[in-house]
A and B are shown apart, each in its own frame.
Chain A
Amino acid sequence: MPGTQKEKFIIPIGPQHPALKEPAHFEFTVDGETVTSASVRFGYVHRGIEKGAENRNWTQAMYLLERICGICSHAHSTAYAIGVEKLAGVPAPPRAQAIRQILLELERLHSHMLWVGVAAHEAGFETLFMYSWRDRETVMDILESFSGNRVNYSANLLGGVKYDLGPAQADSIKRGLDFLEERLHYYMKIVNNDESFLRRTRGVGTMTTAEAEQLGAIGPVARASGVARDLRVDAPYLLYEQFPVTIVLGSTGDLHTRFVVRIQELFESVRVIRNLLAGLPEGELTVRFPRRIPEGETISRIEAPRGGLFYFIKSGGGENPIRVKVRTPSLRNFMSVLVGSVGHQLADVPMILSGIDPCFSCNDRMIVVRRQPGKESVS
């Protein structure tokens, strides 16, 4: 309510601000250096992707949806592919599922390492930022050598994957993982031991288990607060039943715990990828997939790096989806920023904000809000 806060000192962050890599508008009311209230506004990068998907056929829509997020692109296309395969009743062959899962975990590696760098940058710890991004290049190289692309791998097909994983590639992935694991141990050491960094992370943005439940947090943010919520464990998809991950839980829910939880999750990812590479099922990469999908609707959920990714897909029996609804994980974590930053120093706000690993563009969907019966507003 801007009208009632006229006399207060409001610090606007965004839509253009050095702390934000994507546009969103935050208003932090400060008293000296202490934040007293916060609000957020999205919608600067609404791209009409959901509507766009309705005008494309089932295959084309997948490539469009892959572009919702630049970091977890494979998570989006996999969630969509799994949903459509469920509707069609044609599951992908086991080998394709294993390759999808390997890519998902590699994506988690590159996403979390990127986050370590960004969060360190917000704390003014440029050295950690540069180091983690340098080492992240290892994952990017693996992904590039696998699919030819660093970001949108477009590895999925409806009913399978495009690329096979040969022994030579498996070896290069294993070598990369060995290196990364060593580096991750090093980052874990820095995060746990660097006194100046701990002063910026310990006790900052703390969210208790009850608060995390109440605010509906998901992903590593919720797990750092002790909420055992991980779709890979709760509702296993792909081969997560045969090659399970152990859920990583924190207890204190501050920024430091989020660092620890995310890095520990990466050790889990490394372990799962190694298991998958060792037990890669033999067989076809693709199955024949129909052009028309029988009428019906389905929900497809997978655990993206930032938390549970939700897809609702509806088919009218034709070549196009009738409706695709996407709910990205960042959207559910923003409340924790608004609540969590109150009472903190202004200097901690960028840290708290980046602590949820926000992905702004992914959130921007059109929502019709009915505040009063008969009156609709679009936001």
Chain B
Amino acid sequence: MSMDIEILLKMLIFPGGLTLIALGLLYEYIDRKLMARFQNRIGPRLLQPLADAVKLLAKEEVVPIGVIPIFFVSLPIIAMAGALTAGLYIPMAGLTPSFSLPGDLIIVVFLLGLLTLSIGLAGANTADRFSIIGAIRTLTQLFSYEAPFLLALLCPAILADSWQISVVHESVLGQVWLALPLFIGFFVAVIGLMGKLELAPFDAPEAESEIEAGALTEYSGRGLALFRLGKNVELVVGLTLIAAFYLGGLANPLEFLLKTLGLLVVVAALQALFARLRIDQTVGMWWRIGALLALAQLLIVVILKGVIL
């Protein structure tokens, strides 16, 4: 019985559930604030993301005409659940993952992809023209960054001889940061995460000057809040995963905060630097450069491993 309560606590309070959501809101705030300061704006207050989330959750969810209602309502929940579940398999706050099994790296990457998939399906489900174009772009983009991102995360896994996140994490703890020797993989992983989260310059799926809010144009109230929270959680999970693999692991909560926030600064700076890429440019860039870089990195890792070990 006590075992069940412990699992429930882990899933709902710490390190999953509420903690993940709170961290997600905090990271969203930091991201927005940094972006604003880079762009010479003032930016939001600390509680703004929370206020947005609470306000949206309290609002009525309008189900538009022409959708399949069950999909419309359930897709945000699936997306959110996917992101939160992914959080249970990663070394949150430097602690051992709540759950661990061989091959959970693949599960986490799939769960993170579930969010994007849900957004794409949600857009395709509505009859709105902006949503449909947005959905097409979301799914097109999904196919472009997903493979390089996975390959980039596989490099440390291959070095550790395991596809289990906790094992990979322990193998890099205290070692020299993998981001230094495997800088190509690190680079692809960070850019891949930005693509996953549809952050600028990969925000063509929600380019407001063309297609308003993209796939989520018809969403309001609870559905929109869940999608946004899901993205925030995914931001935390993604940063944690990259920091755990490439930045010498996360030994304690302080290290976790420092390393993930450091990565967040890099991500925010990259967002402020570039003009938005068109969807054809995004896809072209990922398959012409991103995928090749990730493959080259994988090849280097495999060869080095064969030579050294």
> Which residues of chain A have a CB within 8 Å of any CB of chain B?
9-12, 17-19, 30, 33, 120-131, 134, 194, 196-197, 199-200, 345-350
Contact = CB atoms under 8 A, between A and B. Distances in A.
Interface in B120-139: 129-130, 133
Given A120-B275, A197-B275, A347 B210 contact: yes
A127 B200 CA distance: 11
Nearest to A34: B280
Contacts of B209: 18-19, 121-122, 124, 350
B47 interface: no
B124 to A, nearest CB: 14
Given A124-B203, A127-B38, A12 B279 contact: no
A12 B129 contact: yes
A134 B40 contact: yes
A134 B36 CA distance: 13
Contacts of A124: 200-201, 203, 207, 209, 275-276
Contacts of A131: 39-40
Nearest to A204: B278
Interface in B170-216: 200-201, 203-204, 207-212
Contacts of B278: 199-200, 345, 347-348
A120 B211 CA distance: 17
Contacts of B208: 18-19
Tell which of A128, A194, A346, A348 has the most Cβ of chain B within 10 Å: A346
B144 to A, nearest CB: 14
Contacts of B38: 127
Among A11, A126, A197, A347, the one with the most B-chain Cβ atoms within 10 Å of its Cβ is A347
Given A124-B207, A127-B38, A347-B204, 20 more contacts: A10-B129, A11-B211, A17-B212, A18-B209, A18-B212, A33-B133, A123-B275, A124-B203, A124-B275, A126-B39, A130-B41, A200-B275, A200-B276, A345-B278, A346-B133, A346-B211, A347-B210, A347-B276, A347-B278, A350-B209
B281 interface: yes
Interface in B245-296: 272-281
18 contacts: A11-B130, A11-B133, A19-B210, A121-B209, A124-B200, A124-B209, A125-B276, A128-B275, A130-B40, A134-B40, A199-B277, A199-B278, A199-B281, A200-B278, A346-B133, A347-B207, A347-B278, A347-B279
Contacts of A196: 201, 273-275, 277
A365 to B, nearest CB: 27
Contacts of A122: 209
Nearest to A348: B278
Nearest to A354: B209
B41 to A, nearest CB: 6
Q: Chain B CB within 10 Å — which of A126, A130, A349 has the most?
A: A126
Interface residues of B, number: 27
A197 B278 CA distance: 11
B212 A345 contact: no
Contacts of A9: 129
Nearest to A11: B129
A131 B211 CA distance: 25
Contacts of A120: 275
Contacts of B133: 11, 30, 33, 346
Contacts of A30: 133
Contacts of A345: 278-280
Nearest to A17: B212
A126 B273 CA distance: 9
Interface in B138-172: none
Given A18-B208, A121-B209, A349-B210, A126 B129 contact: no
B275 A125 contact: yes
Nearest to A123: B275
Given A10-B129, A124-B201, A124-B203, A33 B272 contact: no
Nearest to B41: A130
Counting from the closest, the 7 A-B pairs by CB-CB distance are A124-B276, A125-B275, A19-B209, A196-B274, A130-B39, A350-B209, A347-B278
Contacts of B204: 347
A122 B275 CA distance: 9
Contacts of A33: 133, 279-280
A200 B203 CA distance: 14
Nearest to B276: A124
B240 to A, nearest CB: 27
Contact of B39 (A127, A348, A350): A127
A125 B38 CA distance: 12
A123 B272 contact: no
Nearest to B280: A345
Nearest to A12: B129
A117 B123 CA distance: 30
Contacts of A349: 210
Contacts of B207: 124, 347
